[in-house]
Amino acid sequence: MAAAAWNEAGTYQSAGEYADGLAIIERAIIRYEKTPGDDLTRVVHLGSLHLRGIVLASRHKDANATADHVRKAKALAERVTGPDVLQHNLTFGKGNTALYELAAQIEMNHPDKAAEVAAPLLKNPPSGLKPSRVGRLAIDAARARLATRDLGGAEDALKYAFHVAPQMAEIHPMAREVLRVLWTLHQRSRPELVAMAKRSGLAS
């Protein structure tokens, strides 16, 4: 039931109907909290619902709902010892929660805070995350750094994304947007930036 709500809300998220998706998530959380149990499966399911809530609330620009979902997800993540856990196609733990918090700071137009959150994560990525998730972390860090006019830092984060998840980084729209902006800001003399632009089809 939790996985179904997570996926249903994701459909609304993809359509940009954030308020409706958030309503689905919040109803599912209320129902789930009323069911008995206190095992790891329950933590993963409930935590994953809150992670989806973070995305929907931050894109809906609802600061209170975003903060509430972040707080509850982080509390649940503390109960996951070791790497993030995958159950029923839902991944939850401290690592994934940190990535969602980072993305939320960007969506809420807090690039300074996002860059601050990203710095330690890039130096020591959370264990157990797939390369694609670490790559997404680097892309979000690049977005935050670009927004704070840290062009060199944005390029460094993109290079890390291309290192850990090259195929994803080449086609990811957010990575391509950061590359496009760096490219137009007269960074063409930087060989590694040129190489990434060529791999993404932004330069010949």
Q: List the chain domain ranges.
A: 1-109, 115-204
- CA 67 to CA 44: how far, in whole Å? 19
Q: Phi/psi of residue 190, each to 5°?
A: -90, 110
Instruction: Check residue 67 and give its pLDDT.
Output: 95
Instruction: Check residue 39 and give its pLDDT.
Output: 85
Instruction: Check residue 7 and give its pLDDT.
Output: 92
Give the three-state DSSP class for 106. Answer: helix
Residues 6+ apart with CB under 8 A from 62: 22
Of the candidates 90, 28, 18, 17, the one whose C-alpha atom is nearest the C-alpha of residue 54 is: 18
pTM tops 0.85, yes or no: no
- Over its length of 204 residues, how does the chain's per-residue pLDDT go in tens digits? 888 999 999 999 999 999 999 999 999 999 988 887 778 889 999 999 999 999 999 999 999 999 999 999 999 999 998 888 888 788 899 988 999 999 999 999 999 999 998 999 888 888 777 898 899 999 999 999 999 999 999 999 999 999 999 999 999 999 999 998 988 886 667 788 888 888 888 877
Tell whether domain 1-109 is in CATH 1.25.40.
yes
